[in-house]
Amino acid sequence: MSKKLTIGLFGYGVVGTGLYDVLHKSKTVDATIKKIVVKHKDKPRNISSEHFHYDKNEILQDEEINLVVELIDDADAAFEIVKTALEKGKAVVSANKKMIAEHFEELYELQKKHQVPFLYEAAVCGSIPIIRNLEEYYNNDFLQSIQGIVNGSTNYILTKTFQDNLSYEEALKEAQEKGYAESNPILDTGGFDARSKLQILLTHSFGITTKPEEVFNVGIQNLGDLEIKYAKEKNLQIKLLAYAQKRNEEEVIALVIPKFVKSTDTFSTVSDVFNGVKVQTAFADKQFFYGRGAGSLPTASAVLSDISAIAYDYRYEYKKIANSENLKLAQDFPLKVLFRHKAKDSQNFENYFEEIEEFYGNREDAYFVGSIRFQQLKDVFTKHQDEVSFVLIDIL
């Protein structure tokens, strides 16, 4: 038996307007939005101003509101809203991956202490129901790996680079003009957005909770002509992947990194702002999820799904956290990469590699193809991140 939900909505931007629309069209969810709290009073909106309030306590102190839906950009403000709502015994739905990734352990404890659900399907891959599947469908299977194209902005840029032969700069500019990338796009292009999503996936896949600085991320902002030329000559594409793989009974490899993908790889079919997630398990083998990772209605559909689930008292059980006491992030493993750098620095970088299979250089730039230990890769990237580029070929 479902219960009636009275919603307090924070945020009326792209996703908030989408939710308002889909909720009013839905015939199956017994929920109404009582109040909407927004930041800017004078911003033009598509519904009457009488719906809007400007003080968070209008929702948080309203005892009739039993569900808070948080859809704002500010991660710090979002955390204070979600924390207070949970403390007051209100169920919460959020789409804020940065907030969840940065504060997961406290949010997890608040859910347990106050016995209220906190759902966030829309925080990872928009319309793709990956978290619910990891919690339910893969609950009793032995998950071996999960990897995904989880950021639509970077995938759009890479699609335009490979399919339309635009330069990286041209593709980024087009993404910004279409609203897929911000004026300062480093959260997307630097792999930070993908890192937040990977942190959440790690929890629901393997039961590992992490701090942002514990998960290594390399973005696409330094990709140059040599890497792109190498890929095209070998009929490959480059995709920014969030990657997690169980290495043994004690370690999970986790990183965000650009990777060469073959034309036969399912990821090669994921274009523009779409997302794709590949799961491998011991019993079900490989399965692939594909869908829109962003946008008003696709993301709103994931929020609506969480609202519907809360109406039936659904909550994440986090069983994998209880069973992951011995698991930790792997810190020492070999990778095969293409490493592009300034030609004048080739000799200095050789010592970082265990083996170099291929070398190419011109007057300005050069690259190695070879194997390098993870700690060595991190060391090079930390010291020279504005001057070098890594593209993963394989984890060895």
Domain positions in the chain: 5-127+295-324, 332-395
| Predicted pLDDT at 345 | 92
pLDDT in tens, 256-266: 999 999 999 99
- Mean pLDDT of the 287-303 span: 90
- For residue 1, pLDDT over 70 is answered with no
DSSP string across 310-349: HHTT-----HHHHT-TT-EE----EEEEEEEEEGGGHHHH
Predicted confidence (pLDDT) per residue in 209-221, tens digit: 999 999 999 999 9
Q: Is the fold of 5-127+295-324 the same as that of 332-395? A: no
Marked catalytic residue, from 34, 56, 197, 259: 197
Residues 6+ apart with CB under 8 A from 118: 82, 86, 91, 92, 93, 94, 107, 110, 111, 315, 316
Superfamily of domain 5-127+295-324: NAD(P)-binding Rossmann-like Domain (3.40.50.720)
Q: How confident is the prediction for the chain on average, in pLDDT?
A: 93
Burial class (CB in 10 A: 0-12, 13-18, 19+), 289: middle
> Does the pTM of the predicted model rise above 0.85?
yes
Predicted confidence band of residue 140 (pLDDT cuts 50, 70, 90): low
In 3-state terms, what secondary structure has residue 129? coil
Q: Is 136 helix (H, G, I), strand (E, B) or coil?
A: coil
Over the stretch 65-95, which tens digit does the pLDDT of each residue have? 999 999 999 999 999 999 999 999 999 999 9
Task: Classify domain 332-395 by CATH architecture.
Answer: 2-Layer Sandwich (3.30)
Q: Would you call 336 a catalytic residue per the annotation?
A: no
Q: Name residue, tokens 């079919």.
A: 269
Whether the predicted pLDDT of 330 surpasses 90 = yes
- Mean pLDDT (whole number) for 109-137: 94
Is the predicted pLDDT of residue 43 greater than 90, yes or no? no
Supply the pLDDT for residue 141.
63
Q: State the average pLDDT over residues 301-306.
A: 94
Q: Are strands 389-395 and 334-342 parallel, antiparallel or unpaired?
A: antiparallel
pLDDT value for 310: 96
